[in-house]
């Protein structure tokens, strides 16, 4: 399907046959939600807690995490747990993983929910924002951190978007700060990060299938969240009233992938709004490109 058709079908999607009422009991299941303090992550946690999941809210801001945990308790009557995690720092990711492993023996469900966002040419963060290790922040958050956060058996749900179709030829030279990165600019870097995230999910699903790990990639949809907080008012009104949906819609697709019984068969699949299977781009199935991305990622994190 072409880009225009894909954009239309994913911007004005058919209604979901899956609802949060269909989430099974998750007693004994441990869940990490990166960015669980707001937006898609918050709505995901809000749906999981009443099903008796043990939910970790992984984010970098302790105050925002505390506020979210208090609100979740008000909304659900259930407690969740703060896991300090700064996805702009490989060191922080390792520390968070160590802390989690001191508390838990396994991780059945991981929602790699945090993403850097582009909306109609307006991107945040800016081109001059880098990780502690000097990587472009979009590349780091959308791709490289996935190589740090996964380990034991789990059902893993990674985040992509329609933008994965916009740049299907990964180039690793601009991923660290330098003239090439500045010449490409934020839009191209964002597109590349989203495609690389989709390619990574496909490669991961191939490598860990025999270990029983189910890796799914999803497009959560066009949503009203804090990601649009820096948009100009006129742009915000135009977009929100025409193509964006309330945040509660956002959790449906990843909850379907992460909790439904049929989700156990979604390894390597790509889901779009609202909880529908979709044919991924042929480029994201390229085994050579996937192997090259994996080798590059392993090289980036080997000394962290």
Q: Which residues are catalytic?
A: 190, 194
Instruction: Name the residue among 53, 158, 178 with its Cα closest to residue 111.
Output: 158
Give, in order, the Cα–Cα distances in Å from 146 to each of 58, 85, 91, 107, 301. 14, 13, 14, 15, 11
Are the C-beta atoms of 85 and 295 separated by less than 8 Å?
A: no
Assess contact for 140 and 182: CB atoms under 8 A.
no
**What are the Cα distances from residue 283, in Å, to 51, 164, 193?**
37, 10, 14
Distances (CA, A) of 231 to 150, 161, 212, 226: 33, 19, 42, 10
Cα distance between residue 2 and residue 281, in whole Å: 10
Omega prior to 125 cis, within 30 of 0: yes
Instruction: Measure the N-to-C terminal CA separation of the chain; round to a whole number of Å.
Output: 40
């Amino acid at each position: 399907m072409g880009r225009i058709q894909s954009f239309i079908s994913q911007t004005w999607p058919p209604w979901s046959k899956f609802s949060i009422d269909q989430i099974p009991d998750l007693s004994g299941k441990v869940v990490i939600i990166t960015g669980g303090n707001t937006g898609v992550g918050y709505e995901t946690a809000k749906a999981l807690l009443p099903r008796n999941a043990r939910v970790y809210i992984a984010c970098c801001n302790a105050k925002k995490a505390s506020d979210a945990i208090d609100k979740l308790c008000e909304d659900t009557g259930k407690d969740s747990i703060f896991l300090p995690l700064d996805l702009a720092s490989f060191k922080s990711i390792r520390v968070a993983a160590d802390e989690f492993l001191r508390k838990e023996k396994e991780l059945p469900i991981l929602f790699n929910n945090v993403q850097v966002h582009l909306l109609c040419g307006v991107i945040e963060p800016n081109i001059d924002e880098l990780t502690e290790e000097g990587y472009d922040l979009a590349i780091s958050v959308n791709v490289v951190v996935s190589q740090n956060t996964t380990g034991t058996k789990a059902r893993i749900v990674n985040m992509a978007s329609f933008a994965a179709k916009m740049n299907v030829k990964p180039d690793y030279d601009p991923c660290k700060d330098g003239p090439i990165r500045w010449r490409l600019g934020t839009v191209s870097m964002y597109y590349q990060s989203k495609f690389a995230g989709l390619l990574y999910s496909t490669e991961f699903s191939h490598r860990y299938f025999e270990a029983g790990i189910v890796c799914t990639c999803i497009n959560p949809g066009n949503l009203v969240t804090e990601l649009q907080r820096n948009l100009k008012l006129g742009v915000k009104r135009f977009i929100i009233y025409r193509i964006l949906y309330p945040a509660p819609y956002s959790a449906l697709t990843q909850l379907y992938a992460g909790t439904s019984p049929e989700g156990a068969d979604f390894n390597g699949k790509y889901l779009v709004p609202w909880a529908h299977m979709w044919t991924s781009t042929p480029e994201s199935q390229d085994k050579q490109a996937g192997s090259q991305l994996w080798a590059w990622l392993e090289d980036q994190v080997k000394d962290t």
